[in-house]
Amino acid sequence: MDSYLNLLSNVTILCTVSMFAAGIPSCLSIYRTGSTQNVPYLPFLMTLINNLLWFYYGILKVDSTLLVVNGIGGFLQVTYMVVYLYFAVSRMKEMQQTFLGIIFMLSVYFLLQNYVVEPKMIEDRLGLTASTITVLMYASPLAEIAEVIRRKNSASISLALTITSLATSSLWFLYGLLLRDLYIQIPNLSGITSSIIRLMLLYVYPKIQVLVDSKEKGV
């Protein structure tokens, strides 16, 4: 069991870090063009918050897999955010979002340290908070899914990212299953479901590239 768990842990780390590295092309694009246009800031911040919560959970559980993955993930998200803020023309909205994120994290830490006495209860509350944030992140493409169904066009869905997400969620689900940790299992089950839905949409609604005539664009 230990050898299987170690193998699963290593593969999960590799796959998850690869998924976190998906932000590198966007970061390089910002650096090359000197513009943050069409690159959203909020996903970087939300992923960082998610990484910090799971890193804290990993400390309580003494789980090296959670610590390594979310330590690397957190570092990458901070890097993406720094590059974004450096090249952003107006940083007011992004700074407000960052401030709210800091307030949220400090509030979670303060409440857990001052109002929860039992160590096991702290672990449970933190696991519930982290898994809820992860479920919300996996649920975020629902608007995209609804738009794909409405337009009957899956051009906005990335096949590579969807497959990576499915593989990563499946690995984490198995990892949580072996550890008998529902806080790891449940959010990744939602990730598996979300990825399968997007794969089905890619099959049902083939990608159609919409070409807009230059005259209609006023060029």
List the domain boundaries for the chain: 2-204
| pLDDT for residue 112 | 87
* Higher per-residue confidence, 85 vs 156: 85
pLDDT band at 1 (very low <50, low <70, confident <90, very high): low
Are the beta carbons of 186 and 127 closer than 8 angstroms?
Answer: no
Q: What percent of the chain has pLDDT over 90?
A: 50
Mean pLDDT of the region 124-150: 84
Q: pTM of the full predicted structure? A: 0.85
Greater pLDDT, 2 or 108: 108
Q: Can you give the pLDDT at residue 201?
A: 86
CA of 177: how far to CAs of 65, 125, 181, in Å? 14, 19, 6
Beta carbons within 8 Å of 110's beta carbon, 6+ residues apart: none
**pLDDT digits over 59-69, tens only?**
999 999 999 99
Hunting for tokens 């796959």 — which residue is that?
15
pLDDT value of residue 209: 57
